């Protein structure tokens, strides 16, 4: 019986070490800081979900502050800021390139 317990403890220690080696913690620079928005947003280029602080948020240039656009709530979708996974997706979006999910 003691041998079974020792084998289980040894297996547990080996698996613990394996997972610590294979799945290390992310660096602190990648973790959210105080004030970061951690809600999920979808990339306007590829549709991938990502926390807002990890992506690129671009204010829409058509957000001119005038009374007509503020009072017109039917264009709420047009007035939101654009969100991208990274700067490459932002550049591809503005260049008019099409996202190919088969790549």
> What does the pLDDT look like over 19-39, one tens digit per residue?
999 988 888 888 888 988 888
Answer yes or no: is pLDDT of 3 > 90.
yes
pTM: 0.55
pLDDT at 74: 45
* pLDDT score for 7: 97
- The strand pairing partners of 56, in sequence order, are 84
pLDDT tens for 35-82 read 888 889 998 888 889 888 888 888 866 544 444 444 454 444 555 789
What are 98's two structure tokens?
């099409």
Confidence of residue 8 (pLDDT cuts 50, 70, 90): very high
What pLDDT, on a 0 to 100 scale, did the predictor assign at position 37? Answer: 86
Query: Number of helices and strands (H, E) in the chain?
Result: 3, 4
Which residue bears the tokens 């591809």?
92
């Amino acid at each position: 019986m003691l041998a079974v317990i020792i084998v289980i403890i040894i297996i547990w220690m080996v698996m613990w070490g394996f997972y610590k080696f294979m799945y290390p913690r992310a660096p602190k620079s990648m973790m959210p800081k105080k004030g970061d928005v951690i809600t999920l947003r979808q990339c306007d280029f590829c549709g991938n979900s990502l926390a807002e602080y990890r992506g690129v948020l671009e204010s829409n240039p058509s957000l001119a502050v005038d009374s007509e656009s503020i009072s017109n709530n039917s264009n709420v979708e047009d007035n939101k800021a654009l969100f991208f996974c990274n700067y490459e997706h932002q550049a591809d979006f503005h260049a008019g390139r099409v996202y190919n999910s088969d790549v």
